[in-house]
Structure 1
Amino acid sequence: MFSLLASLTGCSQTAQAVDSNELVFESQSFRVVSIALDRQPLSLHWKDPDNGQAYGDIDSLRQWGEARGKRLLFAANAGIYDRQFAPLGLYVENGKTLVSLNMARGNPASGNFSLLPNGVFAVYPDGHAAVRTSSDFKADGKPAQWATQSGPMLLIDGQINNQFVDDSASLKWRSGVCAKTPHEAVFAVSEAPVNFHTFARLFRDQIGCRDALYLDGTISQFYVDGDGYTGAPTFMVKPYAGIFAVFAQP
């Protein structure tokens, strides 16, 4: 079993700041990043609090942090958003709900968010994380410190989303997240186009998650300090809404 906590030979101090590994699964390459939430607090960022303008891309967030003496260790786009570059579903930033939970049922042909069930990745005030279907998150009624709603769910209680087709020819760069344990969030992005079924199997069979959430597709990129960007080619990336981030702790 692949160990996300295993150190790599020759890793730099930068790479050790967050556990970042390139992984080959079923002849496909992925970047997998594990965040120990008790040591590397994860946060969400949409707009610069000083001017209300959306960061739009990871590099803008990195520069914002540098101007305040904060070193960006990891970043990833947070999930599905609309044509106005606002989150399409629930978005909670530092305990404040900026966009409400979206329980609308849509046409799957209109986008991945409508390929049900969709779900929520949340980090709670006590520091633990979870991936829940949107309906289960609503039923729980627990306030989150940080949360994003996206979709579809990749895994639900260890089962691959039954909307996925094993040999589907729908191939895209894809990113997703799970809470492998309550205090370990694991992010993955493909380094080449893959289908949903393969991506879900990565989380279940290789990473070892029971619940996992799809974040986004063709535009998805990760940034890891010292390693740079991975995921979709830069020329395909468009402005983001929310961005996950881990900044170095003082």
Structure 2
Amino acid sequence: MMMRSERVTSLRTLLGAATLALLALPAQAAPDCGKLVHDGNSYTVCTLRADRDEIRLFHSDAQGRLLGSFSAIDSALEPEGKQLTFAMNAGMYHDDRSPVGLYLDQGVQSGPLVTRDGPGNFGLLPNGIFCLKEHAAAVIESRSYAADAPRCTYATQSGPMLVIDGKLHPRFLENGSSRYIRNGVGVAADGVTVYFAISDNRVNFHSFGRLFRDELKTPNALYFDGKVSRLHAPSIGRSDSGFPLGPIVGAVGPDD
């Protein structure tokens, strides 16, 4: 029979082990957002970790009504006692704000995977998928995804790819004349560090791709959009507004 003093010692040991286990987990923190200048262009870059931050995709509420804005998402999160700590538009959409390509929400697909050439930036192959898995993230070229789809909790398709296996998209021109405020995402080689970037001045695809390849060192990166690119980053006092958006990516934290 275990004596009382032995039971107390055993309980303390278990509590100590539990405390150490909790301390070993990465602590959730506000996304690290800041300015970065690369090759004469200014960007705002937010760094998140898929093994620490609660990153989700947002499009519609439980009744199927379009969210479309950062403020609407914040309102939808209130019953959970949570709020957005970061967000940006995350993929192209039709006039009715439905996703142009593949879209997964909690593993449920509501948009088709598109792997064919087509008009506009989305159809400038190769395009790609931003995939959020449990404690991990990836940017995957669309045809590779079609051949061997991973288990993504959330996924959004966009295009073109900015960086493919360490190389710029083959159609990008160094002196390309198409310049817009652009935003996109890249995932580091560790599979957990995620860089979300938006340009502060108008840039072409070649410059934007080189930001991810040469400065952020991401082996794969994906373009989200231009013209309507927007960022919500309360940590730096920024929350862009405008017409309703389609897919939105965001990090969720406690509502302080």
- Residue 249 of structure 2 aligns to which amino acid in structure 1? F
* CA distance in structure 2 between the partners assigned to 1:174 and 1:156 by the alignment: 18
Alpha-carbon offset, residue 80 of structure 1: 0.9
> Is residue 238 of structure 2 the alignment partner of residue 229 of structure 1?
yes
Residue of structure 1 equivalent to 2:179: 171
- Tell me which of 208, 214, 218 is aligned to 2:217: 208
Aligned-pair CA distance for 1:42: 0.7
Query: Do residues 31 (structure 1) and 44 (structure 2) align?
Result: yes
- In the TM superposition, residue 162 of structure 1 has moved relative to its aligned partner by 1.0
TM-score by length of 1: 0.86
Alignment of 1:44-59 (within 5 A): 44-49=57-62, 51-59=63-71
Residue 3 (structure 1) aligns with:
none
Q: Which residue of 2 aligns with 1:240?
A: 245
CA distance in 2, matches of 1:134, 1:55: 26
The DSSP-based 3-state class of the residue aligned with 1:200 is: helix
Contact 2:117 2:124 in 1 (8 A): no
1:148-190 CA-to-partner distances (Å, cap 9, x unmatched) read: 0000000111111110110111100101101112111111000
Counterpart of 1:143 in structure 2 is 151
Deviates more, 1:201-210 or 1:59-68: 59-68
Q: Match of 1:162?
A: 170
Taking the aligned partners of 1:229 and 1:63, their CA distance within structure 2 comes to 18
Residue 6 of structure 1 aligns with which residue?
Answer: none
Deviations 1:106-133 (A, max 9, x none): 1xxx311011111001012x32111111
Per the TM alignment, residue 94 of structure 1 is displaced from its structure 2 partner at its CA by 1.2
Return the letter of the residue paired with 1:29. S
Deviations 1:33-70 (A, max 9, x none): 11111110210010011x32101112211232235421
SS at match of 1:113: coil
Distance 1:59 1:192 in 2: 25
The root-mean-square deviation of aligned C-alpha atoms, in Å, is: 1.6
Task: Give the Cα separation in 2 of the matches to 1:122 and 1:228.
Answer: 28
Q: Secondary structure in 2 aligned to 1:59? A: helix
One-letter amino acid matched to 1:144: C
Q: Letter of the 2:231 partner, please give it.
A: F
- What is the TM-score when the length of structure 2 is the normalising length? 0.84
Task: Give, in angstroms, the shift of residue 238 of structure 1.
Answer: 2.7
Gaps of 5+ in 2: 1-28
Q: Using the aligned pairs only, state the percent identity.
A: 36
Give the secondary structure class of the aligned counterpart of 1:201: helix
Counterpart CA distance in 2 for 1:68 and 1:140 is 35
1:127 corresponds, among 127, 135, 141, to 135
Task: State the Cα deviation string for residues 216-245 of structure 1 (Å, max 9, x = none).
Answer: 111111111232336xx74xx432111111
Aligned residue pairs, count: 226
1:183 matched to 2:192? The reply is yes
